[in-house]
Chain A
Amino acid sequence: MTAMAKHRVFLTLTLLEIGLLAGLLAQGRTAARRASAVEVPARRAVAQRLGLTDLALWTEARYTRHPSQADLFSAFQDFPSSLDHFPAGSVVVASGGLEAFQNRLTAGEGSARPCAD
């Protein structure tokens, strides 16, 4: 039996794991910085030029493709009691903030200040 072998192995392995994780986090930070400097502006430029409002993720239905543009009824508009049958519908959540925004507009709230003419 090697003297105190197991605790050395364990501590070494743990340190290696922590080191690896720290390395990944550091590399991630560098990659994120690079992305923010190069890739993100390029993508933003595409969104701006094409006037895009949504990410091209869920292409199965209109309200999953453009969740920010969909109204609250899109998921059920096939007929009144139709259920939301697209799997991505359970991933894409109706934006609660959108509803609140619309309610505020309907209620006539906006800015308390009179519009600057």
Chain B
Amino acid sequence: MRRLKILEYALSSLWRRRFKNLSVVTVYAFTIAALGSILLLTHSLRVEANQILSGAPDLVVQRVLAGRHDLIPVDYAAALREIPGVGAVSPRIWGYHYDAMTGSNFTLIGIDDRAPYELELLDGALPTGPMECAVGAGVARARSTRVGHELTLISGDNVGVVFNVVGVFRAGSDILTNDLVVLRTPDLVEFFGLPEGRAVDLALEVHNPNEVQTVAAKVKRLFPDTRPIARSEILRTYDAVFHWRSGMLLTLFASALVAFSILAWDKATGISADERREIGILKAIGWGTADVLELKLWEGIAVSVTAFLVGLIAAWAHVFLFGATLLAPVIKGWSVIFPEFRLTPYVDLYQIFVMACLTVVPYVASTVVPSWKAAITDPEEVIRK
């Protein structure tokens, strides 16, 4: 009962200075929403990347010339197939195409004739005949095309090449296919004007996942001008990209944390004369030190728990209901075609817990600690001042 009464007084106290306290709650909640959005977004993307890209090739072998990525002779495939543990070796043709009409970059990839020709996330089918293509939703939108219509791309010779759109990827696969134009490999080789006997890179199938490193080392020994990239490295790249401790996201996170520290510091540097006097009066009329400190504790808890919960709910809504629309421009950069975030709510509770500790605890401390001195001093001395 006593606890609830002191809580009641704490809330009255906060309400008395309601404009100031509501501003604090708002800024605090906003900070939590920003921090929370970053944590939720990056974690969700990281889990998704991990799950989806586990379908990437076991090993991709690139060729390096003068420190740059160069085309690789298809002949290398024969020698690579001889390495024990290696299954299929597939030359890959893919590249980029700048679409002047929309100012965007498309990724063009060539596929072979094997099945499957239809996919769950594809409306229509993959290209099987000449001059057919399947496009990502972003491309379809940018170029206002759809199944049954055409897509004209300007080749390197400044010639317009017309492809028939036989498939459009569904929005659910945007994160993988948004800017793709999928063609049959021969069509793509001709479009790019690639020389015969060359591929962009080779995709290797390795039977035993534990042998990938060994195989990669052998590839490097066999062809010192190559650069093998294992699937584990692909996954690790995205782990690093979406880690909240790296890149621009770290800057956002740090700024939000700094803003919050300023807030807490402002509180921690001392209580006002009014507050000190009030503590003196409370003690003089019979409140004990523990009662006063409990009052301050409740004031801190009321503000920080409310702000934390509201901020976290806002972050959730922002990321998982509204596709992180406020963060997207920051992350997007100059990308003209950028997928809408349709993220699955993967949540790392540990991160949430850490964020709670990093914000609620310091804030409550910054409310209680400055009152400590006044709370333990004899009331007469506090009032006298």
Contact = CB atoms under 8 A, between A and B. Distances in A.
Task: Answer yes or no: A and B touching, Cβ < 8 Å.
Answer: yes
Interface stretch (B186-194, B265-273, B310-318): B310-318
B52 A49 contact: no
B214 interface: yes
Interface residues of B, number: 104
B333 A95 contact: no
Interface string A27-43: 11101100110011011
A2 B344 CA distance: 45
A89 to B, nearest CB: 8
A82 interface: no
Of A7, A14, A61, chain B has the most CB atoms within 10 Å of the CB of: A7
A47 B48 CA distance: 12
A105 B7 contact: no
A68 B233 CA distance: 7
Contacts, number: 265
Interface string A91-108: 111011110011001101
Would you call the interface of chain A mostly helix, strand, loop, or mixed? helix
B309 A14 contact: yes
Contacts of A69: 60, 62, 69, 201, 229
Nearest to B252: A91
Most buried by A among B53, B57, B62: B53
Interface string A77-117: 10000000011111111011110011001101111010111
13 contacts: A13-B306, A28-B320, A43-B51, A47-B53, A50-B109, A50-B111, A53-B229, A55-B53, A61-B105, A65-B179, A67-B238, A90-B248, A110-B217
